[in-house]
Amino acid sequence: MISPRTSVITSTRVHTVTSSSVFQVGDSSRIQGTSKVYAVLREESLFLGNEGDFKDSVFTRSTPWSQLSHQVEMKQMNMSPYIAVKHINILGIGASSVFHIGSTGRVGLDSRIKNVRHLLSVPSVPPSS
């Protein structure tokens, strides 16, 4: 068992937290985040109304969670009961991410993004010389 430590942070600034993300201050036993994004980029504003299907295999296949195949032995000696940080500045936390100050038992995060691009014309590639 790891001996508990106290986090001492002078200031924290997080501008944006989006898409199933977590900004956690304090201890937790488990953090679980899931994000599914279907992003469409078009050169022309055309909305068909029947798109954005989450039945694609990128969203339906099972997540290959890793399993520990053996026990991990760890010896730790903390010289101080504190973890001290002066300032943390984060622009954004997104797509099933975690910013956590404290201890946690288990973290499981799953982010799936399908990007679709509809372009009016395919750019020509100049011949190499």
Q: What is the DSSP string of 38-84?
A: EEEEESS----SS---TTSHHHHSPP------SPPP-----SSSEEE
What is the predicted pLDDT for the residue at 90?
94
41-81 pLDDT tens trace: 888 877 777 777 788 888 889 888 888 788 888 888 888 88
Instruction: Classify residue 90: in a domain, yes or no.
Output: yes
Instruction: Classify residue 123: in a domain, yes or no.
Output: no
Q: In the structure encoding, which two tokens stand for residue 39, read together?
A: 């992003």
Which sign does the torsion angle of CA 49, 50, 51, 53 carry? positive
Q: Report how far residue 110's alpha carbon sits from residue 21's, in angstroms, rounded to the nearest whole number.
A: 11
105-117 pLDDT tens trace: 888 888 888 888 8
Instruction: Classify residue 106: in a domain, yes or no.
Output: yes
What is the predicted pLDDT for the residue at 13?
94
11-21 pLDDT tens trace: 999 999 987 78
* Residues spanned by the domain of 56: 6-61+82-118
- Indicate if the pLDDT at residue 1 is higher than 60: no
